[in-house]
Amino acid sequence: MCPFLTVVIPTRNRCHLLRETIKRFQDARKRLSDPALVELLVVDNCSNDNTFEMLRNLNETDKTTTYRKQATLKKTAEMSMAHAVEMAKGEYVWVFGDDDIPHEDSLASLIANITDGKDFYLINCNMRLPNKSAFRYLPREKCKNYSVARNLWLDLGFVSATTTMSSLCFRRSMFDLSIFEEYAEISEIYSHSVSMFVMFYRGTASVISEPLFTYSLNTSEEEGGRFNEYFDQKGLSVFFPFTLGLLRLLYRASSSTGVRIQDMLNARESEIRKDTWQMLESTTRQFIERFCKDSKKSLADPACRLYNKTGRVQCLIEILAIEYCVRSLKSSLIKRLIIRRLLKTEKKTCPYETH
**Phi, psi dihedrals of residue 330, rounded to the nearest 5°:** -90, 140
The Cα 315–Cα 240 span in angstroms is 10
Of the pLDDT bands very low, low, confident and very high (cuts 50, 70, 90), residue 350 is very low
pLDDT tens for 67-94 read: 999 999 998 889 999 999 999 999 999 9
Query: Buried (b) or exposed (e) across 197-210, using 16+ Cβ within 10 A?
Result: bbbbbebbbbbbbe
**In the chain, where are the structural domains located?**
5-216, 235-353
pLDDT at 338: 78
Query: Buried (b) or exposed (e) across 49-58, using 16+ Cβ within 10 A?
Result: eebeebbeeb
Q: How confident is the model over 144-169, as a mean pLDDT?
A: 97
pLDDT tens for 99-142 read: 999 999 999 999 999 999 999 999 999 999 888 888 999 998 99
| Close Cβ partners of 150 (under 8 Å, ≥ 6 residues apart) | 197, 201, 202, 257, 259
Greatest mean pLDDT among 177-181, 312-316, 333-337 lies in 177-181
Q: How confident is the model over 325-344, as a mean pLDDT?
A: 75
Fold of 5-216: Spore Coat Polysaccharide Biosynthesis Protein SpsA; Chain A (3.90.550)
Of the pLDDT bands very low, low, confident and very high (cuts 50, 70, 90), residue 355 is very low
pLDDT at 315: 82
pLDDT tens for 184-233 read: 999 989 999 999 999 999 999 999 999 999 998 876 666 666 666 666 77
pTM: 0.90
Task: Give the dihedral of Cα atoms 157, 163, 167, 173; nearest 10 deg.
Answer: 100
Residue 335 or 297, more confident? 297
Say if residue 32's pLDDT is above 70: yes
